[in-house]
Amino acid sequence: MPFSDYRTALVTGASTGIGAVVVERLAKQGLEVHAVARDASRLDDLARRTGCVPHAVDITDTAALTELLSGIDVDVLVNNAGVSRSGNILTADEFAVDEQIAVNIQAVLHLVRLIMPGMVERDLGHIVNISSIAAVYNFGGNTIYHATKSAVHTLSRQLRVDGYGRRIRVTEICPGRVETEIFGRLLGDMEAARRQYYDGYESLKPEDIADAIEFAIASPRHVNVSHLEILPTFQVPGGLNFERRAD
Which of 6, 137, 145, 197 is catalytic? The answer is: 145
Determine, yes or no, domain membership for 140. yes
Determine, yes or no, domain membership for 63. no
| Average predicted confidence (pLDDT) for the chain | 94
Q: Measured over all CA atoms, what is the biggest interatomic distance in the chain, rounded to whole angstroms?
A: 66
Cβ(76)–Cβ(27) under 8 Å? no
Determine, yes or no, domain membership for 39. no
Quote the strand ranges of the chain, DSSP E.
8-12, 32-37, 53-56, 76-79, 125-130, 168-175, 227-230
Range from 32-46, 82-96, 136-150, 180-194 carrying the lowest mean pLDDT? 180-194
How far apart CA 95 and CA 236 sit, in angstroms, is 31
Number of domains within the chain: 1
Determine, yes or no, domain membership for 65. no
pLDDT tens string 56-78? 999 999 999 999 999 899 999 99
Cβ(115)–Cβ(163) under 8 Å? no
How far apart CA 83 and CA 226 sit, in angstroms, is 23
- What's 197's domain CATH number? 3.40.50.720
How far apart CA 188 and CA 86 sit, in angstroms, is 12
pLDDT tens string 197-208? 788 888 999 999
The domain of 175 spans: 3-8+75-230
- pLDDT of 1 > 60? The answer is no
Give the mean model confidence (pLDDT) for residues 181-191: 74
Question: 113 — phi, psi (to 5°)?
Answer: -60, -40
Determine, yes or no, domain membership for 164. yes
How far apart CA 48 and CA 44 sit, in angstroms, is 6
* 145 is an active site residue: yes
pTM of the prediction? 0.94
Determine, yes or no, domain membership for 191. yes
Range from 42-46, 100-104, 139-143, 214-218 carrying the lowest mean pLDDT? 139-143
Q: For 82, how many CA atoms within 13 A lie in the half-sphere containing its CB?
A: 31
In this predicted structure, what is the pLDDT of residue 140?
Answer: 84
Determine, yes or no, domain membership for 30. no
pLDDT tens string 122-132? 999 999 999 99
Determine, yes or no, domain membership for 166. yes
Give the mean model confidence (pLDDT) for residues 39-47: 97
